[in-house]
Structure 1
Amino acid sequence: MAVDYLSALNAGSGLNTTQIVDALVEASRAPKEQAINKKVEENNVKISGFGTLKQQFETFKTSMTSLDGEIGLSVASGSSNIETTITDKTKISDFSHSIAVSQLAQNHTLVFANNFTAENASIGQGTLLFEFGSWDRDNKIFTEDSSITNVTLTIDSTNNTLTGLRDTINDSSMGVTASIIQTAESAYSLVVKSNSGSGNEMKITATEDSSNTGLSTFGFSTYSSSKETIIGQDANLTVDGVSVTRSSNTITDLIDGVQLKLKGTVSSAVTVNASYDETKALANMNSFVTSLNTLNTKLAELTNRGLNGEAAGALAGDSVARSIQSRIRSMTTRPIEGYSTESIYLTNYGISTQLDGSITFDEEKFLNAYRSNPTDLAAIFASQVKTDSSSVTAQVAGDDYVAGVYSFALSSGTATISSSSMTAASGKYYTLSGNTAGLTVTTSLSSTTNSIFLGRSLLDTLSSYADTILSSSGTVTTQINSKNDNITELNQDLADLDTKMIELRERYVTQFSSMERVVRNLKDTGDYIKNFTDTMRAAKEN
């Protein structure tokens, strides 16, 4: 409500200085406070926008993780006794093998029973030497495998019980496990198992402490069938008619990228295979497109400039957000290198990027491309390193390499990769820097020329970028921290403004108080003059 200061002045009681000071202070405060609060609100909107963006990248990263390496391959076994599991999606390819299993691997198992009446029964003191190899049971001769380290266990007052020995064996990390079995009331035995395989059988030499005997019960330095319940043996199988032996029923080195777990014998060969499943591949691609479109849609909402009556996004006009948007568009439109001699584009698989950043997916075009060449789908889902020769293998450590196809040349022990020298050591050739940093090439050949394919999938490229966005030192986190710092400074500006307004009020009060004294003095002088003239006039009239 406006104050009629002239009326207040003409009322004869002086100015209403409180109202005047309040109005003057408020007139000074309002525009400054409004400007600061506007900046606070702008920073809060940005923080909210970047927080939403960060959350969207977290969701996107999770979805990418589930699709990593998925190029539509499925493994199957013709028998429940042969379980198949994909262990490395970057190494597996389609295959079909005929497999039969005639024998499972077994753990060499010994049982030591000496009328132990309790689990904590005393067993004596001394040492137990474990050696590993194989037993010739007919001649009772043990042949040690010198490649397996012997282990000596010390049994003293701290562990000279049945449970103490069990725990000492289990804690030794020598591939031997021990357990206690109650065979009858007040009767306990110790069961000791080695790793599976005929070459992992145990020889145990007990050396007793003469003052605390009993440890010899656990010796097996001389063959004794009474202590042996299961012999150590290998798994025997045939793969496409070729005899194969493994020490374990879990086999990881027979088929690249696949683990076989033998559960029982298979007398008649069955088919174990991996094949490209277009239904699975199509579902994976749809998930990829949906996740990418969800991210792009949220980016478009956040950066919307608010034209044509639309509401502006929280990050409208923000250069960082625009840069992120541009970076993703670039990743999804540029060629993917390192998978074949020709570049691969998303458009090869029916994916097109629109002007607004959204993606369209032509399923029919995808299926035609996948049926024609399913392996190239790895360019989208699976980073990989490969060569064009079975005599040359390659692998890469780290993520510093530049994707592409490189020429490997070896002559008389000297190797180059695309004309750059490599470091040689025992049939391996390394590069520590440059476009192929971290590359190791292995071959037994003395001379060869091959192509090395270093492929980084689009999924890995996008996931790495998401990691950058989500990192504590990433652009988005930096922006959020910067905006929070701005708000802290602006809140301090508001506090400083309050202080200044208090000082301004005090100054106005002092000034108006001085003015009031002057006006009061002038009024008193005026009253004196009026009284004087009135007196003079009255005297003259009389």
Structure 2
Amino acid sequence: MGTVGINFGPINSGQGFDVASTVSQILAAEQAVEDPWKTQLSSLQAQDTALSKMGTDLASLSTAMQALTDFSGVFASKQGASSDTDVVELTSASNLAVAGSHTVVVNSLAQTSSQYSDLITNSADTLTGSLTVTIGGQSQSLNVSGQTLSQLAASINSASMGVAASVVTDTTGSRLSLVSKTSGAAGQITLSASLTDDATSTAIGFQQGMQGVDASLTVDGLNTTSASNTVTGLIPGVTFQILAVSANPSVPVQVQITNDNASIEQAFSKFVSAYNAVADDIKTQEGKDSTGKPEPLFGDPTVALIQNQLSQGLLTGAASGSIKSLSQFGITVDQTGHLTIDGGTLDNALNSSFSDIQGFFQNASSFGQTFNSMLNGLSSTSMNGAVYLALKQNSSQEDTLNNNISNQEQRIADDKSRLTDQLNTANQILQSLPDQLDQINQLYSAITGYNSGH
């Protein structure tokens, strides 16, 4: 520890000294104790930033891999096409759909049952009577007393009678329309009505607008029916609309279900990009910054672990049929450690070995499942992940350093207060010395008769 000099001039000058400056000089040595702690803390915080970025990029890589290993992910996606969209139009193909070709012949379309009432010239007329609606063997009745057509429609809808009621009005008058809420034969409406127009005493009857019938079609040679023109279940995982009757039953519509290669190839591209982002993080930490200083994680064992695990991870996992490695479907490692992807090779492999590639990512002990487990062991979110543990260790050291700095700052504050009080007292004494010396001289002159001023 260096010494601190106090400059207060001749002892009888009364000038004293600069207390604040003197205290600062004394405390400078104590503050210097904090410097290595602050340097280490800054280094740890820089490591945290680099580790957090690596953890984020590893999480992105994990997400990209999960899209390929998820049983309901992109490998399950299907596309469909119809050879005649005027007759059959595909709506969706779920992950239950299987790639293949199917034939459809539409013999007749499904119809939804409907009924409509006789014309009422004045829609404001009230009605009297009752109405019973039967659908699928279930009957419900409604008493009508002093209700207009609109009020009756509202009452039917509120009663949940299995039909949608509305009032249809044109230039000739108004009618009550009833449309079954169930399509096909099961929704056939049977009415029992005894309604009278109160104003004209005219009986109001009902006529059938549309018969409820099921669609008739042939799927892959099987004659079948559908209560709706939206057909599900006849081709596993596929929903399609039948829009018209086949013009020539001997020429069925071809429905083609294919794997969604475009989405799969996009998922592979995201995987490659995410892997390369982590590889770039590692490469950055192996070098120096713009000032020539080593990067925060230069030589860090966690980075070495991640690099080693990623490199080995590309070679792990059991084979799936003809697929034993990434390179067989166009993904290779270049001289820089980056993954590259050959779109043509990947597309050809998906067309020729789709199930094997899928198994390479989704079978037990496959590459995909093994790589996923490896990523979990490196992550910043798993409590056993390498990045998580490294950040936790840093956090513990940072807590210790922050406590040391905080305690030292408190000691400095206490010393500053104590020294300031002590040096202020000493300064006051120095400043009062001329007066005290003058008093002594006066006393001496009074006693001796000697005048020091002559």
Pairwise same-fold verdict (TM > 0.5): yes
Kindly state the Cα deviation for residue 251 of structure 1 after the two structures are TM-superposed. 1.6
1:196 aligns with 2:202: no
Amino acid at match of 1:39: L
Unaligned runs of 5+ in 1: 133-143, 145-149, 209-213, 218-223, 384-402, 405-454
| 1:106 counterpart (80, 88, 111) | 111
Match of 1:46 in 2: 48
More strand by share: 1
Preserved CA contact (<8 Å) 2:214 2:227: yes
**1:301-344 per-position Cα deviation (integer Å, ceiling 9, x unaligned):** 4444644435666776777777777766666543267x65x775
DSSP-derived class of the 2:190 partner: strand
DSSP-derived class of the 1:192 partner: strand
Kindly state the Cα deviation for residue 19 of structure 1 after the two structures are TM-superposed. 0.6
DSSP-derived class of the 1:265 partner: coil
Match of 2:332 in 1: 352
Query: CA separation of 1:313/1:462 partners in 2, compared to 1, >3 Å: closer, same or farther?
Result: farther
Distance 2:405 2:351 in 1: 66
- Tell me which of the two structures has the higher relative contact order, counting C-alpha pairs closer than 8 angstroms and 6 or more residues apart: 2
Match of 1:396 in 2: none
DSSP-derived class of the 1:115 partner: coil
Give matches, 1:81-480, under 5 Å: 81-89=87-95, 91-113=96-118, 115=120, 117=122, 130-132=134-136, 144=137, 150=138, 152=140, 161-165=151-155, 167-168=157-158, 172=160, 176-184=163-171, 187-204=174-191, 226-268=206-248, 269-274=251-256, 281=261, 283-284=262-263, 286-304=265-283, 306-310=285-289, 332-335=314-317, 344-353=324-333, 358-363=338-343, 365-367=345-347, 369-379=349-359, 403-404=363-364, 458=368
Preserved CA contact (<8 Å) 1:351 1:361: yes
Match of 1:28 in 2: 30
Q: TM-score when scaled to structure 2? A: 0.68
Amino acid at match of 1:131: I
* Count of aligned pairs between the two proteins: 426
Match of 2:418 in 1: 507
**1:478-519 per-position Cα deviation (integer Å, ceiling 9, x unaligned):** 999999999999889877766554332211112213444665
**1:448-476 per-position Cα deviation (integer Å, ceiling 9, x unaligned):** xxxxxxx989499859979x979899978
Greater C-alpha Rg: 2
Preserved CA contact (<8 Å) 2:103 2:220: yes
Unaligned runs of 5+ in 2: 196-200
Distance 1:129 1:7 in 2: 112
Cα root mean square deviation, aligned: 5.6
Query: CA separation of 1:357/1:465 partners in 2, compared to 1, >3 Å: closer, same or farther?
Result: same
Preserved CA contact (<8 Å) 2:180 2:187: no
Distance 2:360 2:152 in 1: 57
Amino acid at match of 1:87: A
Query: CA separation of 1:480/1:310 partners in 2, compared to 1, >3 Å: closer, same or farther?
Result: closer
DSSP-derived class of the 2:27 partner: helix
Q: TM-score when scaled to structure 1? A: 0.59
Kindly state the Cα deviation for residue 357 of structure 1 after the two structures are TM-superposed. 5.8
More helix by share: 2
Distance 1:464 1:126 in 2: 73
DSSP-derived class of the 2:213 partner: coil
Preserved CA contact (<8 Å) 1:78 1:270: no
Task: State the percentage of identical aligned residues.
Answer: 17
Preserved CA contact (<8 Å) 1:329 1:353: no
Preserved CA contact (<8 Å) 2:184 2:215: yes
